[in-house]
Amino acid sequence: MKLAILIRVYDRVEDLKYNLQIIRDTWKENEYFIIVVSNGKKNGYEITHESRSLVDKLIVLEENAGHRKGNSQLLEEGIKYIPNDCEYTLILEADTWLYGDSIISKYTKLLSQNADAVWASADWYDKYYALATDFAIVKTSYINAHPKIFDFELFPECHISNVLRDSNAGYIWITENMPVHVPSYVRYKYPYVPNIKEGRFYVFPKSKMVTHHIEFLKGGMNKKKQYFNILSDSDYFDDVKTRNKRWNRFKIKFWIGITKCFIKRSWYSKKTYKTIE
């Protein structure tokens, strides 16, 4: 199967470089057309020659629409270049690394078996209907029919859910990338939640995915590489020492898994659709 990969990037050009290498080295089950859209050039974030050589289509935008609209700008520009022969499109953040593509094959198959479902990604919020946008598989025909799906400023995950609701389209949760957040009452110094304000995990052992923002990691990029080696059970990044992978995977799985016991809003209150002003 042929899929389009739509990667958006502003300043995380080093993340992008490693992400493209991982895709080329470990994603072997499908054929991919890689689109990269960047809007950071004006602020000094140039896509390297090394990264350019791994991309099928590179779009560099001269003007950045700003923090709130910038993400939307990248997606809306990128969808113009999705090839007609790509039945599915993977929406991907530059700093979201995935070892292997078996999970992509799994959820494209599930989408193909469900005529009503057009989107697959993680459940983002406990309170609102919201679908993750850092890693999402979408039927390309739906994007073509509803290009305004990426016209958002605030709460993109909620916006996506609202658009699907309004168009009577369904979705599938990628459970391997869940849970995303811990309850607010436990997020302070909770293991593997480096950004207390967001209160979210950045490691997903079931899918072998790492999504860290390196500014939240002691050790920066080298620490992120270590996490990737741990979750992939490999020495993909052989320039960093990664010991006790099995023990570290167990700890990650334990601290993520125990959150199933924490009281959540969804236990006593149904999800609602967020009204976005």
| Total domains in the fold of the chain | 2
195 shares a domain with 151: no
- Quote the pLDDT of residue 22: 98
Sequence-distant (≥ 6) Cβ neighbours of residue 263 within 8 angstroms: 183
Instruction: Round to whole Å and give the CA distance between 159 and 151.
Output: 9
Task: Provide the terminal-to-terminal Cα distance of the chain, rounded to the nearest Å.
Answer: 39
Instruction: Round to whole Å and give the CA distance between 245 and 234.
Output: 9
pLDDT at 268 over 90: no
Q: What's 215's DSSP letter? A: G
pLDDT at 68 over 80: no
pLDDT at 44 over 90: no
pLDDT band at 237 (very low <50, low <70, confident <90, very high): very high
Domain span at residue 219 reads: 179-262
Length of the chain: 277
- Quote the pLDDT of residue 277: 78
Q: Would you say residue 269 lies in a domain?
A: no
pLDDT band at 65 (very low <50, low <70, confident <90, very high): confident
What CATH number does the domain containing 41 carry?
Answer: 3.90.550.10
Q: Would you say residue 167 lies in a domain?
A: yes
185 shares a domain with 131: no
55 shares a domain with 26: yes
252 shares a domain with 116: no
- The residue ranking higher by pLDDT, 88 or 197, is 88
Query: Which of 144, 159, 177 is the C-terminal boundary of a domain?
Result: 177
Q: Measuring CA to CA, which residue among 80, 66, 67 is closest to residue 147?
A: 80
* Residue range 172-191, pLDDT digits in tens: 999 999 999 999 899 888 99
At residue 231, φ and ψ (nearest 5 deg) are -70, -35
Encoding tokens for residue 60? 């560099």
Query: Which of 160, 177, 194 is the C-terminal boundary of a domain?
Result: 177
Judge whether 264 and 178 are in contact, CB under 8 Å. Answer: no
Q: Measuring CA to CA, which residue among 75, 72, 215 is closest to residue 152?
A: 72
52 shares a domain with 155: yes
* Residue range 119-172, pLDDT digits in tens: 999 999 999 999 999 999 999 999 999 989 999 998 999 999 999 999 999 999
Q: Would you say residue 142 lies in a domain?
A: yes
89 shares a domain with 35: yes
104 shares a domain with 173: yes
* Residue range 11-30, pLDDT digits in tens: 999 999 999 999 999 999 99
94 shares a domain with 14: yes
Q: Would you say residue 268 lies in a domain?
A: no
Query: Which of 148, 177, 206 is the C-terminal boundary of a domain?
Result: 177
Instruction: Round to whole Å and give the CA distance between 209 and 202.
Output: 8
